[in-house]
Structure 1
């Protein structure tokens, strides 16, 4: 599925992270093929990641979150780049999702029904996830729990489909050659997605 409008969300809180470098590489590849690209870097935006009242009481969105919602509405394709920490995404990324993937934006519950409307239909996504856990171990032992939560419980629940996953591991003790190889691969993914 090709996309002309791509939003990249870097979910790593460190502005000097490898995830940031991966986000930049993907953006370069996509722009090279003519896509319009926007980038949200969670290390740079200001917001409270705590959905303090749950859905009982509205918490007003900060300007950066309002802009993030506009970027998501605009995009054909969403790219989430983040590390796996304790089996799932970093707290700042979970807080970002908690705060903006709200009823009325990502989904809408139906009155007197267990069903819901998926409000982000028509968009696709790609998860580029770094990890220290070897891929085979993550698959066989952990059953890719973090990937499944993001793919099914969040994105597909909101109507985003298909959702592709690229896992880059193990990162700890990886060589510069390994990291550069993946930067080049991710740039090519951006090129292909935009074609």
Structure 2
């Protein structure tokens, strides 16, 4: 039985991202996966890494619980909208405060290299956007996807990392949204 952690990065509980998360969850559960969730906007924590890595800020209980869920999971599903070319600020703060040295990675003494502590896990990133995904790829070079995949998840040893981009959401029809909910449900049932 696969252990799946869904990290919901959209702050609006009525958002399409929330519907996508529920669709993935239902697909995964239908095939016997065990699913836990983190809804970042419902957590209580300071999103600022006040001292960088120079000095540690005590982790709030919600962040400690999130780290336990991340350790538990075989597969992470991270869902968020692209805003100004990146993830919502609170989700970025979540990664800044949770994926810390000693938990997610560790820099080696007197070296530019590091050890990856989250190996053996895979991830699916699901993003929504107000432009067609091909435009985000062709014109902008997918900076948000590269940052999430390469600079956060793979940096800590999580792979493979697959990305699903859905857009344009603005002015989308019910038929368009339903089609993508079904697609995400299928991803959940395949647990990928």
TM range (shorter): over 0.9
C-alpha separation in 1, matches of 2:67 and 2:99? 8
Residue number in structure 2 paired with 1:129: 127
Residue number in structure 2 paired with 1:102: 100
The alignment of Structure 1 onto Structure 2 pairs a total of residues equal to 192
C-alpha separation in 2, matches of 1:26 and 1:45? 21
Within 5 Å, give how 1:9-28 maps onto structure 2.
Answer: 9-28=7-26
C-alpha separation in 2, matches of 1:165 and 1:122? 18
C-alpha separation in 2, matches of 1:18 and 1:47? 24
> Normalising by the residue count of structure 2, what TM-score does the alignment of the two structures yield?
0.98
4+ runs deviating over 3 angstroms: none
Residue number in structure 1 paired with 2:151: 153
Residue number in structure 2 paired with 1:81: 79
1:64 aligns with 2:65: no
- SS of the counterpart of 2:124? strand
Is the contact made by 1:15 and 1:44 (CA closer than 8 Å) also made in structure 2?
A: no
> Normalising by the residue count of structure 1, what TM-score does the alignment of the two structures yield?
0.96
C-alpha separation in 1, matches of 2:127 and 2:177? 13
Deviation at 1:181, TM superposition (A): 1.2
C-alpha separation in 1, matches of 2:150 and 2:140? 16
- SS of the counterpart of 2:115? strand
1:54 aligns with 2:34: no
Output the aligned Cα RMSD.
1.0
- SS of the counterpart of 1:61? coil
Q: Which blocks of at least 5 consecutive residues in structure 2 are unaligned?
A: none
C-alpha separation in 2, matches of 1:137 and 1:16? 26
